[in-house]
């Protein structure tokens, strides 16, 4: 309450200051009416007063140089006022949960506007198109593009495009025509608006506004598909709006008779040019940003600056070429997200994200406040009941009709059809906002006599949609029980079942030899990975991404192949039903690692293995080769085991939540890290005691397990789970019997503390699936299935091999282990 | 490949499969060519090894279960009909007619899909999912690195 009180005090103070300040400019105000180009006074008054001050009589100790700082002062001041307004509004959550923030900001704008008008009798401050389109809108859209969930967007791109293009055209045409029809029918009294002007009005009214959509939908978390449809549409329809507006504007200027087929065709062509041209410009700038961030290692402090500047330039460039500026900046943001995250330093990435959110949020606040202020202006207040009410009605009705019709068509081609409820929300969520107002103000009043009426109507429609529809959106959603975005943690059973199904689907896809809709995507991925990443990503970032995956895949596939050939050799059925056959596989994998480290040992081990066939051909007995290969292969094996645990992704869709004010950090990696650290500590404890007594692995395994169970009576360890795996009998019993004792966790901690804090860079990416692991066959068999084996790396192999040496020769080979451990650690930490 | 497929797969068969599974003509032909490409032994049936030869399947944790699902109880070979029958479960649902009788429902109805999924869990085919079976799945799928398994004890 106290804070609220302070805020109110400040607010009051600031408002009073406005009222004090404005009379000072009283004279200049009158001259200002004509110019729409500045937020503050025209320079006219500046100069006159400035000249005034040069006639001084004595030396002023202090002088009030208002005009010196006028423009920047007012700008900063208004920003401050808007933010203070937001502060006041957000003070009480009960209010904001009912009424969306945007509506409250508009109301706040009303109040402010009223005060100013009362002081000045004229609206001194208004949302002018220049300020809006050049200074306030770009950052909002850049933020939208940068945080756009690309996968979701492109999956639904067809639907989004249909709605954006066809829907907007339909809205514009239907609105314009019906209004004109009504005028013909005399419902609106005596208005001097021609058909073309109606169409122009329709085109500026038709566009769903991204700012408003974000603002309202953020409070109502609807499901992803619904959100992306509306949001994507609101972004992409700018292409159409710009074209329609310019075309009809040109038509209005040309006048009726001059419009023939050629002009119309030119109009259609211009649509394609504007839309694709704008996107292309954005793409070019996005690539430029990615290239730049590749080289900015030495100036990490101002790295984020590049993104903002280039994003803004893309906007301005498109505007300059009369292409769609919004499309340009959206695609710029969408294109560069991935490469920026890969190339830039972690801190820079965070800075960019945070700064973008800050700017976007700030701009939005200012936009809404000024939307409110602009209303209180007698000049534009031309009331025509018929026109206004009919516009409102038509806007709503045609939106519904358009959405339902288009969705009906779309659903015939969609895998997951949009339900009725979703469609209702989509229609209801077609909010108009500041873009429409900006366009309306940009109308030329010489050509369009009734400009003020149009501006007024636009404002009323904007208020209606933002305030009324905003307020009623949430209850509507709840009432209709729209499938909300899953805010809660899904239960274990759900997670399990989801994963099951994902794996099943992937398996069936592989069996049937096609990847369904993702054929294009796999082609794109191939292109992207081999060409674009190569050019646009820093070599180090690329290496982390690609090579490890490649190695993983290669090794895994190699394993899989060997698995299969092994099975074939031994007889088919046994292979699947009999879990014991997995032993061989395990042995084989060990032999692989043996090559790397010590050929002799593997030889012995080969002799030891009872049920395997000949050791793999790749086992080479020459130390030379081994050591040469060892460097690369060690890394490869490290990576392999690392990835084994983590990265078999079941091609699940990443669950996304777009928000203006928060951004999610991938929580799972923290959990993973935390669990890992915890269990490592436990292991360390158990390890130190286990190391003391060296026994044959069989007992060692059991010993440590028992120990751990004793040590952690709170049941924290996953070993409990391991021992109680009554399920897959095979691997478990085998693992206990197997001489290699691979499941010996005791030797892990010795080497792993070094890697406690190493997070693979790919885990840092926010795009990562929340489900990270599905253990491959091999992983399940080879390594303990406890979550603690998160960062198991080749050192484990070494240690298990040394346990082999224990069994074979019963010597605690700790020294050998240490040297190898060092060797590998040095490899890991490079 | 195309001519080979059409030679070995007669029109009547295609019609029958179409009726039984609901796939379209082109889909059936396409899947038949896939079937023959998997069938290394060229005896018109697939064995388990043929499936396992698909590398991605081998690294899929549920791979062997899915493969099992293709083979009816006790058999080791699956012919094209059986192949299609299993794949038919994965067609999109058409909620045109709601049949009360599960026996007459098309293969891709919700019930049949669920039945398929159920069979993935139920290894011993006793029409029940025992606790052990559930645990096995949990392990294979390795839900999260949380201590989720612990909670089951």
Q: What is the DSSP string of A338-363?
A: HHHHHHS-HHHHHHHHHHHHHHHHHH
Which residues of A fall within a CB distance of 8 Å from B61?
503, 648, 774-777, 780
Residue A362: pLDDT band with limits 50, 70, 90: very high
A560 and B64 within 8 Å at the Cβ level: the answer is no
Q: What is the pLDDT of residue A728?
A: 37
Comparison of pLDDT for B138 and A826, the residue scoring more: B138
Average pLDDT over residues A276-293: 90
Query: Is the pLDDT at A5 greater than 60, yes or no?
Result: no
- In the three-class reduction of DSSP (H, G, I as helix; E, B as strand; rest coil), residue A715 is classed as coil
Comparison of pLDDT for A786 and B17, the residue scoring more: B17
What is the C-alpha separation between A183 and A202, in angstroms, rounded?
Answer: 14
In what helix (H) or strand (E) does residue A197 lie, and over which residues does it extend? helix A195-205
CA distances, A43 to each of A66, A304, A558, B44 (Å): 13, 34, 75, 88
- Six-digit token pair at A734? 């085998």
> Which residues of chain A from 759 to 778 reach within 8 Å of chain B, CB to CB?
771-778
Contact A824, A798 (CB under 8 A): yes
Among A323-327, A789-793, B54-58, the range with the most confident prediction by mean pLDDT is: A323-327
Using one digit for the tens of pLDDT, what is the confidence trace for B50-77? 888 877 777 777 777 888 888 877 788 8
- In the three-class reduction of DSSP (H, G, I as helix; E, B as strand; rest coil), residue A484 is classed as strand
Contact A357, A430 (CB under 8 A): no
Residue A326 sits at the vertex; the CA angle it makes with A324 and A329, to the nearest 5 degrees, is 110
Mutate to test the interface with A, among B85, B132, B135, B141 (most CBs of A within 10 A): B141
Using one digit for the tens of pLDDT, what is the confidence trace for A746-782? 333 333 333 333 334 333 333 333 333 333 444 444 4
Comparison of pLDDT for A38 and A168, the residue scoring more: A168
Nearest residue to B50 via CA among B11, B90, B79, B74: B79
Q: What is the pLDDT of residue A315?
A: 93
A540: number of Cβ within 10 Å: 12
Contact A204, A458 (CB under 8 A): yes
Which residues of A fall within a CB distance of 8 Å from B96?
none
**Gyration radius (Cα) of chain A, Å:** 34
- Is A556 within 8 Å of chain B by CB? yes
Strands B78-79 and B45-46: antiparallel
How close B80 comes to chain A (CA, Å)?
A: 12
Comparison of pLDDT for A504 and A724, the residue scoring more: A504
DSSP classification of residue A324: -
Locate tokens 């018929």: which residue? A386
Instruction: Choose the closest CB to B150 out of A557, A560, A718.
Output: A718
Query: Is the pLDDT at A609 greater than 60, yes or no?
Result: no
Average pLDDT over residues A580-586: 40
> Which residues of chain A from 654 to 713 reach within 8 Å of chain B, CB to CB?
668, 671-672, 675-676
B61 and A776 within 8 Å at the Cβ level: the answer is yes
Contact A211, A436 (CB under 8 A): no
Comparison of pLDDT for A256 and A767, the residue scoring more: A256
* List of residues 6+ apart from A161 with CB closer than 8 A: A236
What is the C-alpha separation between A642 and A636, in angstroms, rounded?
Answer: 10
B141 and A720 within 8 Å at the Cβ level: the answer is no
Instruction: Choose the closest CB to A727 out of B31, B62, B139.
Output: B139
Residue A416: pLDDT band with limits 50, 70, 90: low
Residue of A nearest to B51 (CA): A511
Q: What is the pLDDT of residue A330?
A: 92
What is the C-alpha separation between A406 and A167, in angstroms, rounded?
Answer: 7
Which residues of B fall within a CB distance of 8 Å from A415?
92
- Per-residue exposure over A11-27, b if at least 16 CB sit within 10 Å of its own CB, e if not: beebbeebeebbeebee
Which residues of A fall within a CB distance of 8 Å from B133?
727
Mutate to test the interface with B, among A498, A500, A574 (most CBs of B within 10 A): A500
Using one digit for the tens of pLDDT, what is the confidence trace for A681-720? 666 665 565 555 433 333 333 333 343 334 433 333 333 3
Nearest residue to A594 via CA among A779, A789, A802: A802
- Is B118 within 8 Å of chain A by CB? no
Per domain, the residue ranges of chain A are 129-360+377-480, 492-563
Q: What is the pLDDT of residue B34?
A: 83
Which residues of B fall within a CB distance of 8 Å from A668?
144
CATH architecture, range A129-360+377-480? Up-down Bundle (1.20)
B60 and A500 within 8 Å at the Cβ level: the answer is no
Nearest residue to A336 via CA among A282, A277, A298, A266: A282
Which residues of A fall within a CB distance of 8 Å from B48?
572-573, 575-576
CA A668 to chain centre: 16
DSSP classification of residue A491: P
CA A506 to chain centre: 25
Query: Is the pLDDT at A617 greater than 90, yes or no?
Result: no
Among A125-129, A624-628, A762-766, the range with the most confident prediction by mean pLDDT is: A125-129
Query: Is the pLDDT at A282 greater than 90, yes or no?
Result: yes
How close B100 comes to chain A (CA, Å)?
A: 24
Query: Is the pLDDT at A488 greater than 80, yes or no?
Result: no
B58 and A560 within 8 Å at the Cβ level: the answer is yes
Instruction: Choose the closest CB to B137 out of A500, A510, A513.
Output: A500
CA within 13 Å, CB half, B137: 26
Query: Is the pLDDT at A659 greater than 50, yes or no?
Result: yes
Query: Is the pLDDT at A163 greater than 70, yes or no?
Result: yes
- Is B52 within 8 Å of chain A by CB? yes
Which residues of B fall within a CB distance of 8 Å from A495?
143-144
Q: What is the pLDDT of residue A576?
A: 45
Locate tokens 């299935």: which residue? A785
Category of A664 on φ-ψ map: left (φ > 0), alpha (ψ -120 to 50) or beta: beta
How close A564 comes to chain B (CA, Å)?
A: 6
Q: Which domains does chain B have, with CATH numbers?
A: 11-93+104-148 (1.10.238.10)
By CB neighbour count within 10 A (0-12 exposed, 13-18 middle, 19+ buried), where does A684 fall? middle
Q: Dihedral through CA A563, CA A564, CA A566, CA A569, nearest 10?
A: 170
- Is A42 within 8 Å of chain B by CB? no
Query: Is the pLDDT at A646 greater than 50, yes or no?
Result: no
Residues comprising chain B, all counted: 153
A718 and B90 within 8 Å at the Cβ level: the answer is no
Comparison of pLDDT for A187 and A307, the residue scoring more: A307
**What is the 3-state secondary structure of chain B?**
CHHHHHHHCCHHHHHHHHHHHCCCHHHHHHHHHHHHHHCCCCCCEECHHHHHCCHHHHCCCCHHHHHHHHCCCCCCCEEHHHHHHHHHCCCCCCCCCCCCCHHHCCCCCHHHHHHHHHHHHCCCCCCCCCHHHHHHHHHHHCCCCCCCCHHHC
- In the three-class reduction of DSSP (H, G, I as helix; E, B as strand; rest coil), residue B79 is classed as strand
Residues comprising chain A, all counted: 830
CA distances, B150 to each of A669, A717, B10, B61, B135 (Å): 20, 8, 55, 21, 11
Using one digit for the tens of pLDDT, what is the confidence trace for A715-752? 333 333 333 333 333 333 333 333 333 334 333 333 33
- In the three-class reduction of DSSP (H, G, I as helix; E, B as strand; rest coil), residue A222 is classed as strand
- Is B3 within 8 Å of chain A by CB? no
CA A534 to chain centre: 23
Q: What is the pLDDT of residue B94?
A: 65
> Which residues of chain A from 718 to 737 reach within 8 Å of chain B, CB to CB?
718, 720-721, 724-728
Comparison of pLDDT for A131 and A190, the residue scoring more: A131
Instruction: Choose the closest CB to A728 out of B31, B56, B136.
Output: B136
- Per-residue exposure over A277-296, b if at least 16 CB sit within 10 Å of its own CB, e if not: bbbebbbbbbbbbbebbbeb
Query: Is the pLDDT at A573 greater than 70, yes or no?
Result: no
- Is B120 within 8 Å of chain A by CB? yes
* List of residues 6+ apart from A355 with CB closer than 8 A: A304, A308
B87 and A507 within 8 Å at the Cβ level: the answer is no
- In the three-class reduction of DSSP (H, G, I as helix; E, B as strand; rest coil), residue B46 is classed as strand
Residue of B nearest to A789 (CA): B145
B142 and A774 within 8 Å at the Cβ level: the answer is yes
Instruction: Choose the closest CB to A500 out of B135, B141, B151.
Output: B141
DSSP classification of residue B145: S
Nearest residue to A143 via CA among A218, A201, A66, A204: A218
A500 and B56 within 8 Å at the Cβ level: the answer is no
Query: Is the pLDDT at A593 greater than 80, yes or no?
Result: no
How close B103 comes to chain A (CA, Å)?
A: 24
- Six-digit token pair at A626? 């081994």
- Alpha helices by DSSP H, listed for A666-776, are 667-690, 697-711, 719-723, 729-737, 748-751
Q: What is the pTM of this model?
A: 0.60
What is the C-alpha separation between A643 and A554, in angstroms, rounded?
Answer: 12
Instruction: Choose the closest CB to A720 out of B140, B143, B150.
Output: B150
What is the C-alpha separation between A579 and A166, in angstroms, rounded?
Answer: 58
Q: What is the pLDDT of residue A557?
A: 66
- In the three-class reduction of DSSP (H, G, I as helix; E, B as strand; rest coil), residue A777 is classed as helix
Query: Is the pLDDT at A300 greater than 70, yes or no?
Result: yes
Interface size A-B, in CB pairs within 8 Å, comes to: 156
What is the C-alpha separation between A204 and A183, in angstroms, rounded?
Answer: 19
What is the C-alpha separation between A826 and A625, in angstroms, rounded?
Answer: 20
Which residues of A fall within a CB distance of 8 Å from B138?
496
What is the C-alpha separation between A371 and A437, in angstroms, rounded?
Answer: 8
Instruction: Choose the closest CB to A495 out of B47, B64, B144.
Output: B144
Query: Is the pLDDT at A424 greater than 70, yes or no?
Result: yes
Q: What is the pLDDT of residue A17?
A: 54
Nearest residue to A156 via CA among A479, A395, A426: A426
CA within 13 Å, CB half, A500: 21
Query: Is the pLDDT at B45 greater than 50, yes or no?
Result: yes
Q: What is the pLDDT of residue A632?
A: 54
A508: number of Cβ within 10 Å: 18
Mutate to test the interface with B, among A416, A419, A504 (most CBs of B within 10 A): A504
Using one digit for the tens of pLDDT, what is the confidence trace for B70-123? 887 778 888 888 888 888 888 776 655 454 555 566 666 788 888 888 888 887
* List of residues 6+ apart from A328 with CB closer than 8 A: A278, A279, A281, A282, A285, A314, A315, A317, A318
Identify the weakest region by mean pLDDT among A415-429, A556-570, A630-644, B87-101.
A630-644
- Is B125 within 8 Å of chain A by CB? no
User: What average pLDDT is seen over chain A?
Assistant: 67
Q: What is the pLDDT of residue A603?
A: 37
What is the C-alpha separation between A362 and A118, in angstroms, rounded?
Answer: 27
Q: What is the pLDDT of residue A679?
A: 57
Query: Is the pLDDT at A286 greater than 60, yes or no?
Result: yes
Measured over the CA atoms of residue A700, residue A704, residue A705 and residue A710, the dihedral's sign is: positive
Instruction: Choose the closest CB to A560 out of B59, B150, B151.
Output: B59
What is the C-alpha separation between A128 and A437, in angstroms, rounded?
Answer: 10
Average pLDDT over residues A559-583: 55
What is the C-alpha separation between A762 and A560, in angstroms, rounded?
Answer: 25
Identify the weakest region by mean pLDDT among A162-171, A557-566, A605-614.
A605-614
Identify the weakest region by mean pLDDT among A643-647, A680-684, A795-799.
A795-799
């Amino acid at each position: 309450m106290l804070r609220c009180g302070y805020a109110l005090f400040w607010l009051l103070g600031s408002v009073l200051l406005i009222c004090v300040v404005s009379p000072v400019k009283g004279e200049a105000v009158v001259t200002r009416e004509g110019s729409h180009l500045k937020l503050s006074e025209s320079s006219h008054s500046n100069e006159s007063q400035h000249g005034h001050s040069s006639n001084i009589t004595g030396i002023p100790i202090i002088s009030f140089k208002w005009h010196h700082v006028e423009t920047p002062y007012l700008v900063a001041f208004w920003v401050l006022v808007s933010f203070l307004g937001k502060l006041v509004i957000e003070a009480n959550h009960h209010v904001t949960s009912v009424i969306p923030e945007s509506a409250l900001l508009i109301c706040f704008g009303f109040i402010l506007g009223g005060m100013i008008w009362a002081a000045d009798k004229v609206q001194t401050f208004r949302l002018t198109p220049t300020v809006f389109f050049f200074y306030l809108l770009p950052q909002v859209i850049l933020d939208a593009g940068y945080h756009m969930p690309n996968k979701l967007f492109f999956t639904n791109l067809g639907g989004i495009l249909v709605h954006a293009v066809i829907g907007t055209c339909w809205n514009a045409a239907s609105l314009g025509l019906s209004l004109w029809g009504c005028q013909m029918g005399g419902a609106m009294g005596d208005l001097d608006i021609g058909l073309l002007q109606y169409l122009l009005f329709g085109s500026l009214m038709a566009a769903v506004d991204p700012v408003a959509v974000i603002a309202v939908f953020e409070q109502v978390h609807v499901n992803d598909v619904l959100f992306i449809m509306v949001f994507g549409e609101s972004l992409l329809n700018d292409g159409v709006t710009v074209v329609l507006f310019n075309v009809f504007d040109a038509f209005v200027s040309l006048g009726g008779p001059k419009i023939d087929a050629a002009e119309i065709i030119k109009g259609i062509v211009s649509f394609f040019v504007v839309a694709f041209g704008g996107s292309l410009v954005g793409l070019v700038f996005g690539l430029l940003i990615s290239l730049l961030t590749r080289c900015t290692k030495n100036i990490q402090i101002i790295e984020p600056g590049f993104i903002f500047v280039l994003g803004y330039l893309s906007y301005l460039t498109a505007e300059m070429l009369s292409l769609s500026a919004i499309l340009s900046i959206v695609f710029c943001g969408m294109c560069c997200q991935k490469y920026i995250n890969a190339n830039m330093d972690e801190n820079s990435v965070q800075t960019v994200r945070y700064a973008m959110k800050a700017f976007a949020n700030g701009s939005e606040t200012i936009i809404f406040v000024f939307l409110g202020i602009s209303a209180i202006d007698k000049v534009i207040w031309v009331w025509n009941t018929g026109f206004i009410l009919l516009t409102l009605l038509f806007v709503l009705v045609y939106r519904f009709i358009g959405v339902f019709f288009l969705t009906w068509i779309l659903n015939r081609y969609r895998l997951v059809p949009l339900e009725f409820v979703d469609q209702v929300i989509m229609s209801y969520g077609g909010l108009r906002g500041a873009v429409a107002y900006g366009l309306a103000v940009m109308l030329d009043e010489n050509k369009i006599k009734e400009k003020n009426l149009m501006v007024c109507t636009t404002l009323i429609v904007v208020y209606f949609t933002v305030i009324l529809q905003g307020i009623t959106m949430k209850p509507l959603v709840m009432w209709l029980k729209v499938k909300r975005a899953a805010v809660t943690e899904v239960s274990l059973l759900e997670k399990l079942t989801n994963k099951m199904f994902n794996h099943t689907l992937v398996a069936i896809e592989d069996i049937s030899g096609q990847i369904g809709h993702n054929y294009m995507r796999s082609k794109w991925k191939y292109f992207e990975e081999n060409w674009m990443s190569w050019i646009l990503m820093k070599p180090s970032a690329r290496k982390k991404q690609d090579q490890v995956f490649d190695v993983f895949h290669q090794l895994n596939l190699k394993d899989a192949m060997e698995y299969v050939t092994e099975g074939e050799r031994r007889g088919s059925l046994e292979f699947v039903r009999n879990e014991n056959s997995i032993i061989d596989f395990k042995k084989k994998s060990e032999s692989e690692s043996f090559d790397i480290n010590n050929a002799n040992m593997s030889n012995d081990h080969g002799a030891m293995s009872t049920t395997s066939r000949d050791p793999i051909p790749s086992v080479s007995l020459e130390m030379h080769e081994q050591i040469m290969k060892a460097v690369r292969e060690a890394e490869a094996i490290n990576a392999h085991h690392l990835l084994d645990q983590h990265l078999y992704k079941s091609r699940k869709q990443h669950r996304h939540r777009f928000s203006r004010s928060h951004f999610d950090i991938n929580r799972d990696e923290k959990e993973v890290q935390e669990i890992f650290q915890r269990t490592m500590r436990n292991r360390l404890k158990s390890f130190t005691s286990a190391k003391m007594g060296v026994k044959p692995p069989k007992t060692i395994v059991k010993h440590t397990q028992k120990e751990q169970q004793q040590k952690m009576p709170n049941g924290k360890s996953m070993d409990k789970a391991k021992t109680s795996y009554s399920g897959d009998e095979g691997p478990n019993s085998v693992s206990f019997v197997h001489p290699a004792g691979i499941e010996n966790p005791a030797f892990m901690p010795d080497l792993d503390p070094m890697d406690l804090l190493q997070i693979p860079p790919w885990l840092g990416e926010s795009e990562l699936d929340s489900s990270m692991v599905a253990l491959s066959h091999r992983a399940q068999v080879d390594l303990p299935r406890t979550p603690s084996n998160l960062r198991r790396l080749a050192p484990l192999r070494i240690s298990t091999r040394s346990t082999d040496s224990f069994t074979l020769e019963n010597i605690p080979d700790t020294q050998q282990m240490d040297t190898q451990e060092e060797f590998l650690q040095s490899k890991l930490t490079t | 490949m195309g001519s080979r497929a059409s030679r070995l797969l007669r029109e009547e068969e295609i019609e029958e499969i179409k009726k039984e599974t609901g796939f379209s003509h082109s889909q059936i032909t396409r899947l038949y060519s896939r079937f023959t490409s998997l069938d290394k032994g060229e005896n018109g049936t697939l064995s388990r090894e043929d499936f396992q030869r698909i590398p991605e399947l081998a690294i899929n944790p549920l791979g062997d279960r899915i493969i099992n699902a293709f083979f009816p109880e006790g058999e080791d070979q699956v012919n094209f009909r059986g192949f299609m029958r299993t794949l038919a479960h994965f067609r999109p649902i058409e909620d045109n007619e709601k049949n009360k009788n599960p026996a007459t429902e098309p293969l891709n109805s919700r019930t049949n899909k669920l039945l398929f999924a159920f069979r993935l869990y139920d290894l011993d085919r006793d029409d029940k999912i025992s606790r052990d079976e559930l645990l096995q799945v949990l392990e294979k799928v390795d839900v999260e690195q949380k201590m989720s398994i612990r909670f089951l004890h």
